[in-house]
Every structure is written in structure tokens, then in C-alpha cells.
Amino acid sequence: MRQLPETDRDAIRIAQDPQFARWMDQITATGGCTHPIHLSGTTTTYETATGAIVRHYDTRAEPGERLLVRCRNRRATVCAPCSRLHAGDTYHLVRAGLIGGKNVPTAVRDRPRLFVTLTAPSFGPVHRTAERCRPRRHGGVCEHGRPLGCAAAHAPEAPLVGQPLCPDCYDYTAHALWHAHATKLWDRFAIDVRRRLASAVGLVQSRFSQHARLSFARIAEYQQRAAVHLHTVIRLDGPTGPDDEPPPWATTDLLTNAVRTAASRVLVHTPYSPAIGELALRWGTQFDARPLHADGQGPDDDAVAAYIAKYVTKGASETGAGIDHTLTAWDDITTAPVTAHVRTLMRTCWRLGSLPEYEPLRLRAWTHTLGYRGHILTKSRAYSTTYAALRAERAQHQGATRDEPPGTTTEAHWRYVDSGYTPGAALIAAGVAEDIACNREYSRANAQLQRGELV
């Protein structure tokens, strides 16, 4: 035993534990989560009138006197099993807002709906994938002596793609401040869309909510140049939401025109800085708005939901734009595993964060995401269901929760104990996660075979 690696010795110790079977049940219940939360506590259900105990659970009967629960981290680089589950929840959340289901009426698929992409503006030319990157007939160099063009043909995975042609010409300050104001720019955009819809049909802008409601779900994605752009599903409902039909004037063309106009005109001014001045921030010129039609003309609803679900599990480090943990010191930027372009953006955020006029932006706290402070996925309240509802439905389906009998009360007392695994436990959990993934793939292939999709 002493000659075995520590991981193997620990795995053998766990396997010899009398409660190993129950321990495996807990690991399986978490889906093989790589960094579970350890809780201790009790839940007691008793009759409200008499006080008689109906059911009691205590973690003191569990292995190690604790209960393991999922970490629920959405990042695949942190916990692949939990991120896969989060992606599935995101898919159903977005899909329900497109075609109905999950307490959303199926009539929503006949409403005016768009799949919109909003991008960041240009902060300077960067290398790109094309037959020729940035050809220039007469060549030339910038004021720093670097070529103004690039005639190379870069592969999509080439290290140069997304990097500035000249780092000294690139406007890193505007890039960082645009990220810090991106959510505010979105808020102004949504407000302006409502205003333009109201004006187009002769409504007083303040009364738009009495006639229609703008529902949306959006996701933030980092481009190769480390700039965020937004993919958004936008839908027009009646004033009370998806259960209410929109007014007759609510058409896809009207919504498209309002979205296009708002995207081209809305802007946000940064706070004035003696060192930088005041910047006017806008959306980029690369804009796309595609109507979603119930008859199949346009992007497929399932494909749109799958596209958004795909990116919700990507962390900043996986996209090459920042890292997944906060930075506490300047030296942390130097040692971060990022490109020179991203490192310069981080240093710009850190420097700008020291200026008192930018203190509300908390740029140092968000240096690891290059100044972007928004959530990866944001939706309006009335768009569709919620993550909490999806998790409750799954727990009910799996039998993890029970409907309490009428006339009873449940008291729960829980305490955080620890998180993660010992080396041997991590090895066993990885095997459980692999088995679950293989079973999932087998079930999917079997279902496709039965439908005749596989030969």
C-alpha cells in the first residue's frame, strides 16, 4: 500500500468504508460534480396542529456526517457535469420563450420575434481569418513603423487572429470603457426600441407598456479580438406578457425597423476624466437582425436555443478573453495565462480603475473579464421560465423532493462544511461522471436510431 500513489491509496480507503454504497449514491446524485458542496444539517416535517413528526432527516447518518450537493458552476473548465446541466437548462429556458412550453403558451411562436446580434465598435484593425487578412494595395506603415495591412491567410486557430496590427495604435482605453458600459448601452437600446415602436404607431411613449411588452433573452460572447458582442432573442407580447396577444400593429417588420434604428443611434457617454476626456460609446456597425418565423423561414428555433446554450458554459479563460477568477494585484496580470493583447487590456482596466471618476465602474474588480460587468445570460422577467423553476421540476422528476402532505410544516437547518474532494474521491467521481456521459450518449444514439436518423 505504501508504494501506491496517494490517489490510489485514498480511493482504496474510501472503497473499504462500510458506507461506500451510500457515498456512491451521493456522487451519482450530483452527476459526478467535480467540486461539490458539503453540507450538514437536518430537515424535519411535522404536523402543524399536533406537532407530531412525520419525517426527519439528519446528515449524521451520512458518510462523513455530510451531504454532497452540486456546485452548479456554469463553466465547463471548472465543472463539466454541472456546466452540461446548466447548458441544458439554458436551452429549455430560451426554447420555451421561442416555441412555448414550461408554462409559456405555444402562441408565442406566432409573435413578432427576432434573433439580433449587437457587436462592439472597432478599436483598431486586428488580424482576421480570410483569404487575405488585411490587404493594402500601396502598403504603408503607421506612425509607430508597423505595416498598415497584412496579406497573409490566417487559419481560424492561428495565434495572430484577433491581435492588433499595431498595439500602440489600438485604443485600449475605449475598449475597456466600452466593456464597462456595455450593459448600460443595452439598457438604453431596449428603452429606445420601445420608444420607436410607440412613435411608429402614434402612441405616447410613456403608455407603450399599456399596449405591448418587449421580452428578450440575451447572451454575451467574446469575439477573437476580446470584445464582447450580444446575441439576443427579442419578442413582442401583449401588455401582460406571453399569455397576452400583442396588438394588431405589432409586426415583425415594425420590430425590425425599431431595432435597427435604435442600434445605430443609441449612445452612452463616459464620465468626464481630466486624463481621457469624455467618450461617446456606440454599438458596432456589424449588426444583424433575423426574423424568426413559425413556418420555418429563417433561423431554426431549436438551433437558436442550442447556440445560446453552447456559449453560456464557456468561461473567460476558455474563450481566450480574460480569466475565470478575480485579480487582486498588478503582478497577477503579469502571470495570467493570456495573450499580449488581453494582458494589455487587463492592465488598462487596472490603471483606469485607479481614477476616482471611474470608481463606480469597479474596473479593478472586473479586470479578469476585461471590464465587462454583465451576466453571461440575461432575460426579461416575462420572457419564459426561470432556472429555479427548471431545477425544481427536475428535482421533482428525479424524486429528490416530495410534495408535503397538507397540514404539515417543514423546518430545515443547514450549514456549509467544505467543498471539493480528496484525491481518491475525485478519481472515483470522475469515473461516475464518465459513466453518466457515456450512458447519455448511448441513449441519444439509440433514440436517433429508433427515429431512423442513424443508419
Rounded CA separation 226/345 (Å)? 9
Q: Residue 392 is placed in which grid cell?
A: 425544481
**Three-state SS string across 357-419, please?**
HHHHHCCCCCHHHCCCCCCCEEECCCCCCCHHHHHHHHHHHHCCCCCCCCCEEEEEEEEEEEE
Which of 79-88, 191-200, 357-366 is the least confident region?
79-88
Residue 43: per-residue pLDDT: 92
pLDDT at 406: 81
Give the integer Cα–Cα distance in Å for 190 and 56.
49
Instruction: Determine the Cα–Cα distance for residues 178 and 125; give it in Å rounded to an integer.
Output: 17
Residues 367 and 80 sit within 8 Å (Cβ to Cβ): no
The secondary structure of residue 75, as a DSSP letter, is: -
* Region 72-78 average pLDDT: 83
Res. 108: pLDDT tops 60: yes
Which pLDDT score, from 0 to 100, does residue 8 have? 86
Measure the CA–CA gap between 387 and 220, rounded to whole angstroms.
18
Do 257 and 200 contact (CB within 8 A), yes or no? Answer: yes
Residue 287: the pLDDT is 92
Contacts of 328 (CB under 8 A, 6+ apart): none
Model confidence at 401, in pLDDT bands (50, 70, 90)?
low
Distances (CA, A) of 453 to 301, 439, 446: 20, 19, 10
Instruction: Please give the share of the chain, as a percent, with pLDDT higher than 90.
Output: 53
Confidence at residue 402, expressed as pLDDT on a 0 to 100 scale: 61
> Residue 316 pLDDT > 80, yes or no?
no
Q: Is the pLDDT of residue 356 over 90?
A: yes
User: Which has the closest alpha carbon to 390: 101, 14, 6?
Assistant: 101
Higher-confidence residue: 310 or 112? 112
**pLDDT for 6:** 86
Q: Is 107 helix (H, G, I), strand (E, B) or coil?
A: helix
Q: Above 70 in pLDDT, residue 298? A: no
What is the model's pLDDT at position 44?
A: 92
The residue-averaged pLDDT of 406-424 equals 90
Residue range 153-173: mean pLDDT, rounded: 91
Range name among 137-146, 161-170, 320-329 with the lowest pLDDT average: 320-329
pLDDT for residue 319:
63
Contact status, residue 273 vs residue 358, Cβ threshold 8 Å: yes
Q: Region 101-128: what's the mean pLDDT?
A: 92
pLDDT in tens, 45-72: 988 888 889 889 999 999 889 999 999 8
Nearest CA among 350, 302, 374 for reference residue 91: 302
Q: Report the DSSP pairing between strands 53-58 and 228-237.
A: unpaired
Q: Is the dihedral of CA 235, 294, 96, 186 positive or negative?
A: negative
Contacts 24+ apart (CB under 8 A), 434-440: 434/32, 435/32, 436/28, 436/31, 436/32, 436/81, 437/81, 437/84
**The model's pTM:** 0.84
Q: Which phi and psi angles does 112 have, rounded to 5°?
A: -60, 120
CA dihedral 119, 122, 125, 131 (to 10 degrees): 30
Separation between Cα atoms, residue 217 and residue 164, nearest integer Å: 32
